[in-house]
Structure 1
Amino acid sequence: MKKKATPKRARTKQKRLSPDDRRKEFVAKATEFFSEEGFGGGTRDLARRLGVTQPLLYRYFPSKDDLIKEVYRTVYLEPFDTGWEKLLADRSKPIRDRLYEFYNAYTNVIFNRKWLRIYLYSGLKGLDINRWYVGVVRDKILTRIVRECRHEAGMPLQTKPTAAELEMAWVFHSGIFYYGVRKYIYESPVLESKEQMISDALDAFLAGFERVFGATVAISRAPVKVVG
């Protein structure tokens, strides 16, 4: 008896994407790819993951470096356009409130496995992503934080942050960053409340900054006794 032919499934018609949407899709999937495989994979593997040909991928990104730079821009730089610098500089709010609000928003962006894995992979690979991002954090976040701490302590604002001031800010910032690494990369036990962690770190940093650098200014301003 002749078997009845199984009807073929109708092919689902894929929606045709605009060039801009196609480019965004490539960046989003490349971000996933780099977070899972690192930056050692070639464009052939990446194109296969995207479900497209290499020539089509090269039409949007002439080289792998161009694609990496676009991932960096969208994943690491775009969040800074959300008004974070303006928030840090808004002296109508107490400095602690500004920093608390900023670090809650900042960690909401970076505390995920994809973001952190790409950052760590790029560091191990010696790519420029880490150096670029460290520069952005230094110039857009930490320099502003030091400036606002100086203002709060009544210190001079004309000079650039000293190496010691920036180092203290880095220690504070890196502690918060490493909380995310321990939780999302190492999957180690951490304090359950991220908000409490930020709050405690802020109290320690602000008290330490004023004690170390504010005291230095106070000593330098102390009147000199004249011995008769």
Structure 2
Amino acid sequence: MDGPTDKTASESDCGTIRRRLPPAERRQQIVDEAVRFFAEVGLDGKTRELAKRLGVTQSLLFNYFATKDDLIEAVYEKVYIGRLSPDWPERLTDRNVPLRDRLMAFYSEYSALIFERDWMRIFMFSGLAGASLNHRYLKHLGDVILRPLLSETEALARTDVRPTMEDVWNLHGGIVYIGIRQHIYRMPAPESPDDEIARAIDKYLQFFGIERDD
């Protein structure tokens, strides 16, 4: 059970009794609601308003997260780092599988995780606010996913034009833009994102003369 300070707003202010949550469950509840909250109002949203939405006291939030930055860090771990599968780098560099198949498998899984409102909106709000979240995420993504992808492209390229990180980022950014269109610009999304992903991948590979079965 939580300690005596783990009270909902109604317990503290109205004297009513509600079930107290175990610490791990309460912490998860706070993080889950913080994800929805920051996706809606941006990272400038006030913890007082978040506490009100949760029906808890603001002091309770700070029992679990000493600062707002600590809470945002927990949101970052849940929404960004927690969605990166640890086996993706190994699968992307498995040369027993054609590169096109590797790319299709990765981007089908990755897009299914990021093509949703909370991920897109928090990412955009973070960039607009100058926060470090998306910079850290993009660096991590570049190190564990995109640089290995560049190495695989370099190994198979059959043209005089050598692939660069800019080429890889252009491929990645074009695919991510499918989700941005839907959740940021609120424009119609493709009925089959995988078809659009396949077109982007084929265009990328063809530019470097890489065959489908390479």
Choose the corresponding residue for 2:50, options 40, 46, 49: 46
Q: Distance in 2 between matches of 1:74 and 1:190?
A: 25
**Percent of counterpart pairs with the same letter?**
43
2:178 corresponding residue in structure 1? 179
Within 5 Å, give how 1:5-16 maps onto structure 2: 14-16=18-20
| Greater displacement, 139-148 / 81-90 | 81-90
Q: How many residues align?
A: 193
List per-residue Cα deviations over 1:148-204 (Å, max 9, x = no partner): 11222389xxxxxx9x61001111110011111112221213432111101110000
Corresponding letter in the other structure for 1:54: Q
Deviation string 1:129-166 (CA, Å, 9 cap, x unpaired) is: 111111012111110111111222389xxxxxx9x610
- 5+ residue gaps, structure 1: 1-11, 156-161, 212-228
Match of 2:140 among 126, 136, 140: 136
Structure 2 partner of 1:208: 207
Task: Measure, in 1, the Cα distance between the counterparts of 2:97 and 2:60.
Answer: 50
User: What RMSD in Å do the two structures reach over aligned CA positions?
Assistant: 2.0
1:52-89 Cα deviation digits (max 9, x unpaired) = 11111101000000000110011100112342222212
Alignment of 1:57-72 (within 5 A): 57-72=61-76
**Does the alignment pair 1:148 with 2:152?**
yes
Q: Residue 122 of structure 2: SS of its match in structure 1?
A: helix
Local SS of the residue matching 1:17: coil
Could you tell me how far apart the structure 2 residues matched to 1:37 and 1:73 are? 19
* Distance in structure 1 (CA, Å) of the matches to 2:55 and 2:90: 41
Superposed counterparts of 1:1-228, under 5 Å = 14-153=18-157, 165-210=164-209
SS in 2 for 1:189: coil
Three-state SS of the structure 1 residue aligned to 2:43 is coil
